[in-house]
Amino acid sequence: METVTKRLWFFNLLYCFLIGRLVDSSSLSSVTPFLSVSSMVGNQAILPCSWKSRLGEVAPPACHIQWTTPVDTVFEQRGKERWQAEVFEGRVEVPEEKLGSGDCSLIINDVQIGDTGRYESFLLVDGAWSRTTRVFIQSVRLSVSDHKSRQSRAPGEDLVLDLYTRHSVRVVYLGSNSSEWSVLWMKGDGDSQRVKKHPVKEQLMIKELKLSDKGTYKVLDEEGLTISTVQLTVEENSTDRRSEQTLEYQVADDAAQRGCSALLFFSGLVANFLILHLL
């Protein structure tokens, strides 16, 4: 009997440890269900939200919607009145015509690497005695990835380098036989003989490529974050001149979920093993 009691005590201790590790390996956001949205720099991202999931079908007298990050308010709207954080100025909106039907999704245009993070939406509802209740609606995790591609050109051809966004301020270049990056283009600079900015589109043209132009080209934003990376090959008789675009979304969340599932599966095996030895 004493042996069985010790085994039961050991089983409970081990099980609690495994479950504790499982909970600890999950982020605090797992307490509140959240959605994941992925996008590429320069594209549009829509963070889903529906106030009907919290308030039902009855629309509040005035929809006062608020979107925040863990550190700041991103966007706030009540009727015709709108407020946007400086870093999102001119890039975020919640279509007013959709609010009445329950859609309070936040639209982020020209999305940037720095926009990556967790967003939460709230509805501010006026109650009795002029008191306002802040009702949580939805949590969304946004992942923004940079562009990556490999391109091949023949000497004498031109390379069109996409900048993707108006927030691109610098293009740097690392030659295949070099160890130091050099600045190829800066926003505001005039055109040079070989490097020309498109007058309308967010594109840069490098004219009449040479064999020495082989290397890596990076487009950077104001914060020095990478918007795109192009691996360029320049060789005679190049037959494959197509861009091989690689869309690489961040998979940290998926990896974490797989880790939690594996840990839970392992704890179940241990529990079954111990129970069999107790019988």
List the end-to-end C-alpha distance of the chain, in Å, as a whole number.
12
In contact, 234 and 155? CB cutoff 8 Å: yes
8 pLDDT above the threshold of 90:
no
The CB density around residue 171, as the number of other CB atoms within 10 Å, is 22
Alpha helices in 46-197 (DSSP H): 52-55, 96-99
Q: What is the pLDDT of residue 35?
A: 93
| CA distance readout (Å), 93 to 25, 44, 76, 98, 132 | 35, 11, 9, 11, 23
More confident residue, 190 or 6: 190
Strand order in the sheet with 106-108: 45-47, 106-108, 92-93
Percent of residues, the chain, with pLDDT higher than 90: 56
230 pLDDT above the threshold of 90:
yes
Q: What is the pLDDT of residue 79?
A: 81
Q: State how far the Cα of 92 lies from the Cα of 81, in Å rounded to an integer.
A: 14
pTM: 0.71
Q: What is the pLDDT of residue 246?
A: 41
| CA distance readout (Å), 149 to 129, 162, 164, 249 | 59, 11, 13, 14
3-class DSSP assignment, residue 165:
coil
Q: What is the pLDDT of residue 236?
A: 85
State the amino acid at position 188 in one-letter form.
Answer: G
Backbone phi and psi for residue 94, each to the nearest 5 degrees, phi listed first: -125, 105
User: What is the bridge-based pairing of β-strands 34-40 and 132-145?
Assistant: parallel
Q: Which two tokens stand for residue 47?
A: 């963070």
Q: State how far the Cα of 275 lies from the Cα of 279, in Å rounded to an integer.
A: 6
Strand partners, 186: 170
CA dihedral 216, 219, 225, 230 (to 10 degrees): -40
